[in-house]
């Protein structure tokens, strides 16, 4: 396998914001500075450098404002820009001062900034926007409506987007909803379906579902377009009307049958309803892209339709090279689902470093290599990944966890414990990692460390039933603190009465307590529920101690067929029949 070196993130450098850069670029002089006098015969003798104090230095105020924004200190940024707008004739500085003052809810400062911005030529639509925001902020609904009315009457091409932004940003959603219904009416909305759908969606977000549906229906009558039908379908689906949603999607597709987004939305709805065949049919008909192929594969997997998976795999293999190259990970996944493991490895290895699925491709490759009996290559790849993803903690954690889990599967518990420990250095106190390391410690016989990990996990997650059972079983297996073990396992049994693993713990505890008949009954029930090697070994040992060696050997033979390499069976037989 070729290793894949991860791309290190570029260092982030401090940069002045767009407004600050633009203004600073034009700062050749400072307001109020006198023009330089003609040079004398001895210029150095007469040179005078005018250095304004900080309050009158535009550059200093802009820098202070931008640095405060970087620190998310909006109050300081607003103060700096308030000073800067008095030193600059650039309307963008006054605009920034206005927006910052509005953001920190300072009406006095905002009023001054708006006045300055207006002096410097602000657009009426922009002024109406910020005045509406301020009115909503102070609870003046009448003034807010007046300013919003001026905004949408301004004829500005961005007016309805700003209208929606103001209402969405208001702290009083009930007031926003009333203003929306009062102003965003079919008579006032422009001849643009996007504006109608945006207002309908805003109404839905603000809890005005009837308004949203009415506007969506009106948009259908007005524009009769695929996008209006699709939005109406989404509303009907959200309101529980699946049949109505399907009818709307069908009409949408009738207008744009090749629209991949529509087909995917409709297929998703059908898939959620369990109609995988219908969803697949919708996706099969029409042009294909990366998203349609991926959704088709997901639907086929949910339906456990191996023929459909094979068909998608064959189609992708025959697709143009650029389509194949953008679907290497999906091809690998499909090949893996079809048990074409060598082909899957080849596809995964072709996933580029910059692809979003690069890490998953490496991880799947490692798991596949292990499955194919190439354990050393699997661990070698995972070790390389631990270097490649050193600067990405989430991926690094998963690489360590996968390494540890594969060692656990191979019953190499010391190596598993080491991998879990390295992962815990990256993500201290991670519950899943603590649980895994506790199991590894228990398997190596280091009971104290196993108990410590399980106890720490229960401090973090007191209601974790698996950890409760694991601690109880570990104590019972070590034949120590049996009263505590009994309490722990009983708690786990109450939470999960039909769990075979917890039944195994209870049966093994009864064996430690000397209750052989109860132990045999509990373990036999667990063994019949799930043919787990460890449960079988425990049942066999109880039968052996009851003097039923022939029955025990039959159970041990069955365990050997399930797991020929069971270390638990090997150790038990060595102890029972040295």
Domain boundaries, the chain: 494-578
Which contiguous run of DSSP H or E holds residue 70?
helix 58-70
Q: What are the structure tokens assigned to 172, written together?
A: 């009083």
Q: Is 438 within 8 Å of 454 (Cβ atoms)? A: yes
Return the minimum-mean-pLDDT range out of 28-37, 179-188, 331-340, 521-530: 28-37
Q: At which residue do the structure tokens 């996008």 appear?
A: 227
For 109-131, what is the mean pLDDT?
94
Question: Residue 286: its pLDDT value, please?
Answer: 83
pLDDT 10s digits, 150-196: 999 999 999 999 999 999 999 999 999 999 999 999 999 999 999 99
- DSSP string over 295-358: HHHHHHHHTT-HHHHHHHHHHHHHS-HHHHHTTHHHHHHHHHHTT-HHHHHHHHHTS-TTSTTH
Given a cut of 80, is residue 532 above it in pLDDT?
A: yes
Q: How confident is the model at residue 567 (pLDDT cuts 50, 70, 90)?
A: confident
Q: At which residue do the structure tokens 């597709």 appear?
A: 253
Q: How confident is the model at residue 35 (pLDDT cuts 50, 70, 90)?
A: very low
Q: Is 185 within 8 Å of 179 (Cβ atoms)? A: no
Question: Vertex 440, ends 438 and 443: CA angle to 5°?
Answer: 110
Helices (H), 464-566: 465-477, 482-495, 500-512, 516-529, 533-545, 549-562
d(CA 508, CA 489): 11
Question: Residue 92: its pLDDT value, please?
Answer: 95
DSSP 446: -
Question: Residue 54: its pLDDT value, please?
Answer: 66
Given a cut of 90, is residue 550 above it in pLDDT?
A: yes
What φ, ψ does residue 372 adopt, rounded to 5°? -85, 5
58-70 and 74-87 helices, crossing angle to 10°: 160
pLDDT 10s digits, 253-272: 999 998 988 999 999 888 88
Question: Residue 10: its pLDDT value, please?
Answer: 29
Give the percent of the chain with pLDDT over 90.
75
124-137 and 141-153 helices, crossing angle to 10°: 160
Closest CA relative to residue 432, chosen from 386, 409, 398: 398
d(CA 217, CA 207): 17
Given a cut of 50, is residue 27 above it in pLDDT?
A: no
For 497-501, what is the mean pLDDT?
90
Q: How confident is the model at residue 285 (pLDDT cuts 50, 70, 90)?
A: confident
d(CA 85, CA 100): 12
Q: Which CATH number fits domain 494-578: 3.90.1640.10, 1.25.40.10, 3.40.1050.10, 3.10.129.10?
A: 1.25.40.10
- DSSP string over 472-498: HHHHHHTT--HHHHHHHHHHHHHH-TT
d(CA 559, CA 478): 22
Return the minimum-mean-pLDDT range out of 31-45, 339-353, 487-501: 31-45
> How much is the mean pLDDT over the chain?
88
d(CA 82, CA 80): 5
d(CA 213, CA 217): 6
Closest CA relative to residue 507, chosen from 479, 474, 478, 542: 542
Q: Is 531 within 8 Å of 558 (Cβ atoms)? A: yes
Q: What are the structure tokens assigned to 402, written together?
A: 């996968």
Given a cut of 80, is residue 30 above it in pLDDT?
A: no
Closest CA relative to residue 269, chosen from 259, 260, 282: 282
Q: What are the structure tokens assigned to 94, written together?
A: 């006054």
- The torsion angle over the Cα atoms of residues 13, 14, 19 and 25, rounded to 10 degrees, is -80
Question: Residue 53: its pLDDT value, please?
Answer: 60
Question: Residue 72: its pLDDT value, please?
Answer: 92
DSSP 186: T
pLDDT 10s digits, 199-258: 999 999 999 999 999 999 999 999 999 999 999 999 998 888 889 999 999 999 999 998
For 465-490, what is the mean pLDDT?
95
What φ, ψ does residue 552 adopt, rounded to 5°? -65, -45
Q: How far is CA 345 from CA 5, 76, 348, 370, in A?
A: 17, 55, 5, 12
For 285-290, what is the mean pLDDT?
85
Given a cut of 50, is residue 20 above it in pLDDT?
A: no
DSSP 56: G
Burial class of residue 446 in the structure, from the number of CB atoms within 10 Å of its CB (0-12 exposed, 13-18 middle, 19+ buried): middle
How far apart, in Å, do the first and last CA atoms of the chain sit? 45
Q: At which residue do the structure tokens 């008909």 appear?
A: 285
Question: Between residues 427 and 24, which one has the greater pLDDT?
Answer: 427
Query: What is the SS3 assignment for 93?
Result: helix
For 370-388, what is the mean pLDDT?
95
Q: What radius of gyration, in Å, describes the C-alpha atoms of the chain?
A: 35
Given a cut of 80, is residue 305 above it in pLDDT?
A: yes
Question: Residue 37: its pLDDT value, please?
Answer: 43
d(CA 470, CA 253): 54
What φ, ψ does residue 431 adopt, rounded to 5°? -60, -45
Q: What are the structure tokens assigned to 508, written together?
A: 């093994």
For 412-430, what is the mean pLDDT?
94
């Amino acid at each position: 396998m070729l290793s894949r070196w991860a791309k290190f993130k570029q260092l982030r450098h401090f940069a002045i914001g767009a407004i600050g850069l633009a203004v600073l670029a034009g700062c050749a002089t400072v307001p109020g500075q006198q023009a330089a006098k003609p040079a004398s015969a001895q210029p150095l003798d007469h040179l005078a450098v005018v250095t304004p104090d900080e309050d009158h230095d535009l550059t200093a105020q802009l820098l202070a404002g931008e640095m405060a924004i970087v620190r998310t200190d909006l109050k300081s940024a607003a103060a700096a820009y308030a000073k800067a707008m008095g030193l600059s004739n650039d309307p963008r500085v006054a605009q920034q001062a206005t927006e910052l003052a509005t953001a920190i809810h300072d009406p006095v400062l905002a009023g001054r900034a708006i006045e300055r911005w207006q002096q410097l030529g602000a657009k009426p639509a922009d002024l109406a926007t910020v005045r509406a925001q301020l009115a909503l902020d102070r609870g003046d609904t009448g003034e807010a409506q007046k300013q919003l009315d001026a905004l949408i009457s301004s004829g500005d091409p961005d007016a309805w987007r700003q209208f929606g932004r103001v209402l969405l940003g208001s702290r009083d959603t009930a007031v926003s909803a009333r203003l929306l219904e009062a102003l965003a009416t079919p008579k006032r909305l422009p001849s643009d379906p996007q504006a109608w759908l945006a207002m309908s969606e805003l109404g839905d977000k603000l809890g005005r579902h009837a308004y949203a549906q009415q506007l969506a229906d009106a948009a259908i009558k007005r524009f009769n377009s695929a996008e209006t039908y699709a939005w109406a379908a989404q509303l009907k689906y959200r309101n529980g009307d699946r049949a109505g949603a399907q009818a709307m999607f069908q009409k949408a597709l009738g207008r744009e049958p090749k629209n991949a987004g529509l087909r995917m939305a409709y297929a998703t709805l059908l898939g959620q309803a369990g109609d995988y065949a219908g969803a697949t049919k919708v996706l099969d008909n029409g042009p294909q892209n990366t998203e349609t192929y991926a959704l088709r594969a997901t639907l086929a997997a949910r339906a456990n339709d191996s023929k459909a998976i094979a068909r998608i795999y064959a189609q992708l293999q025959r697709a143009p090279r650029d389509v194949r190259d953008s679907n290497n990970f999906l091809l690998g996944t499909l090949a893996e689902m079809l048990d074409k493991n060598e082909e899957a490895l080849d596809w995964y290895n072709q996933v580029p470093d910059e692809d979003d699925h690069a890490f998953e491709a490496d991880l799947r490759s490692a798991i596949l290599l292990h499955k194919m009996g190439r354990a050393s290559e699997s661990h070698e790849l995972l070790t390389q990944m631990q270097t490649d993803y050193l600067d990405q903690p989430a991926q690094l954690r998963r690489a360590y966890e996968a390494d540890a889990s594969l060692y656990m599967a191979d019953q190499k518990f010391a190596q598993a414990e080491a991998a879990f420990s390295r992962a815990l250095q990256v993500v201290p106190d991670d519950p899943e990692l603590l649980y895994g390391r506790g199991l590894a410690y228990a398997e190596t016989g280091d009971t104290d460390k196993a108990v410590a990990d399980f106890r720490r996990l229960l401090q973090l997650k007191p209601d974790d039933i698996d950890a409760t059972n694991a601690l109880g079983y570990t104590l019972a297996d070590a034949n120590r603190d049996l009263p505590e073990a009994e309490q722990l396992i009983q708690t786990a049994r109450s939470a999960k009465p039909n769990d075979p693993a917890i039944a195994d713990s209870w049966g093994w505890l009864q064996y430690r307590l000397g209750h052989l008949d109860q132990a045999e009954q509990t373990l036999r029930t667990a063994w019949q529920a799930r043919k787990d090697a460890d449960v079988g070994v425990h049942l066999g040992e109880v039968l052996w101690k009851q003097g039923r060696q022939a029955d025990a050997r039959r159970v041990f033979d069955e365990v050997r067929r399930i797991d020929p390499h069971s270390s638990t069976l090997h150790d038990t037989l060595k102890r029972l029949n040295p």
